[in-house]
Amino acid sequence: MTSALLTDATILTVDPADRTIIRGWIAIEDGRIAGLGTAASMPDPKRFDMLHDLAGHLVMPGLINAHTHAAMVLFRGRSEGHSLLTMDGWYDTIREPELSLVAADIGPAVALSCAEMVLSGTTTFCDQYFFAEQIAAAADAAGLRAVVAYGIVQLGDQARGAEELALAAAFVQRQRQGRVIAWFGPHAPYVDNDEALLRAEVAMAVENGCGMHLHMAAGPEDNALTLARYGLTATQALALDGFFQGRVHAAHCLDLSPEDIAVFAAAPAASVAHCASAGLRSGRAGICPVVDLRAAGVTVALGTDNVAANNSYDMVAEMRMAGLVASHREGRAQPVSSRDLIRMATIDGARALGIDGETGSLEPGKAADIVAFDMRGPGWSETPDAPTALIYSGSGRDVRHVWVAGEQLVTDRILTRRPFDEIRHEYSATYADFWSRVAAAGKAH
Ligand SMILES: [Zn+2]
């Protein structure tokens, strides 16, 4: 594999000491970070196949989008004016047309999503949807790192739930290692997956050593159902069902009570994917209690959610939104620092997904998942703090180079594996075909 030396960059290591290295270097060998440091310790450039002079660049770990549904790019712009965090909004604008999806739609859609993600600096994403096989294949073809949670929507049909569970188990057993790994993904507990199915999913996840990714305390129905039935919030009802014994990664979490936060804190591997843009867009008053969760020791990662609920995969924008909404919620200026926002979008995302030994920070021995932002363009200027400049002045569109496992997937803003135009044209044909099928089925919203 090609070795590379990156030089003269401002490097955010996001390692335990959270170092910023000015005019630093990083060596990539055999897909891993072989070393990094200041100019004084730089190895001989002649030893490397590729040299990248990154003066004027910010270099950091690849961003981790901890919650999305990549195939749903097909619904971008199709749910405007509707909340996607209520059963009605989701059912009317997503679920009904979704019934016209076929497996052949997924590859082109996920390819476009992966292209947008990597071009804006995301190197790992956590996905939850059906058609998990096709999503995993498309992520693999794009070269990204991914956790693909096999989505199970039961909606009162027990036979369908059992059938889906068997397929999910087979998927998880096949897709256990490499850049793309498999999890279970019950859509939303109690709302569309019953207790028996949830318990079966937990047992299988624990048995297979994989995680569960789900939506939790996102819409009003989540807690309303369990409060009416058991007098408990969804989080506490799930805890009673043994849900928190394994790895649980919960998206949204807008309505967590102090008791719910205690459940997350006491669990061995529970984390939250805070999707600030999607939460704000829904119009719900609840905002994920990020400050309280972090104070309780809970890992909080950041996600865009699907691009019908967000419209963008830009994780720089998502860091900015998370920072601003935390200020609004807490009633004080910037209770979550820029450095913490960077950690949430990198190492905390990796920790949530159980891959922090492999990615999420720039440390010798870890996979070379690296992004280089060009800080020389408009919108940037001399600044005392690089993380703040990136989050509040920069954008995913400032990404110049991206490596995943040492492979350069973006060079000078261009995809290396497949031309973006080819991906876009294939997607456009799929989009037209899908929506004409939806219209023919009488399900167009
Ligand atoms: Zn979601």
Q: How far is the CA of 21 from the centre of ligand 1 (A)?
A: 36
Q: Which of 303, 348, 346, 309 is nearest to 322 (CA)?
A: 303
Q: How far is the CA of 68 from the centre of ligand 1 (A)?
A: 6
Q: How far is the CA of 20 from the centre of ligand 1 (A)?
A: 33
The residues with which 250 forms a beta bridge, in sequence order, are 214, 272
Asked if 21 and 13 touch (Cβ cutoff 8 Å), the reply is: yes
The Cα–Cα gap between 301 and 252 comes to 10
Q: Say what the pLDDT of residue 287 is.
A: 94
Q: Which of 426, 398, 423 is nearest to 413 (CA)?
A: 398
Q: Say what the pLDDT of residue 346 is.
A: 98
Q: How far is the CA of 124 from the centre of ligand 1 (A)?
A: 16
Burial code (b: 16+ CB inside 10 Å, e: under 16) for 269-295 equals ebbbbbbbbbbebbebebbbbbbbbbe
* pLDDT tens profile 191-250: 667 788 888 888 999 998 899 999 998 887 888 888 988 899 989 989 988 889 999 999
Q: How far is the CA of 188 from the centre of ligand 1 (A)?
A: 9
Q: Say what the pLDDT of residue 86 is.
A: 80
Q: How far is the CA of 67 from the centre of ligand 1 (A)?
A: 6
Q: Which of 261, 337, 307 is nearest to 125 (CA)?
A: 307
Q: Say what the pLDDT of residue 191 is.
A: 62
Q: How far is the CA of 85 from the centre of ligand 1 (A)?
A: 9
The answer for 354, left when phi > 0, alpha when psi is -120 to 50, beta otherwise, is: left
- Given a cut of 70, the residues of the chain with pLDDT beneath it are 189-192, 445
Q: How far is the CA of 221 from the centre of ligand 1 (A)?
A: 15
Q: How far is the CA of 192 from the centre of ligand 1 (A)?
A: 14
Instruction: Report the percentage of the chain scoring pLDDT > 90.
Output: 76
Which residues are near ligand 1, the ion (C-beta closer than 5 Å)?
305
Q: Say what the pLDDT of residue 192 is.
A: 66
Q: Say what the pLDDT of residue 155 is.
A: 72
* CA 290 remoteness from chain centre: 17
Q: How far is the CA of 395 from the centre of ligand 1 (A)?
A: 23
Q: How far is the CA of 115 from the centre of ligand 1 (A)?
A: 20
Q: Say what the pLDDT of residue 445 is.
A: 65
Where do we find the tokens 């949830």?
198
Q: How far is the CA of 127 from the centre of ligand 1 (A)?
A: 9
Q: How far is the CA of 303 from the centre of ligand 1 (A)?
A: 9
Q: Say what the pLDDT of residue 32 is.
A: 98
Looking only at the bridges linking them, the beta strands covering 20-29 and 4-12 are: antiparallel
Q: How far is the CA of 72 from the centre of ligand 1 (A)?
A: 10
Asked if 75 and 29 touch (Cβ cutoff 8 Å), the reply is: no
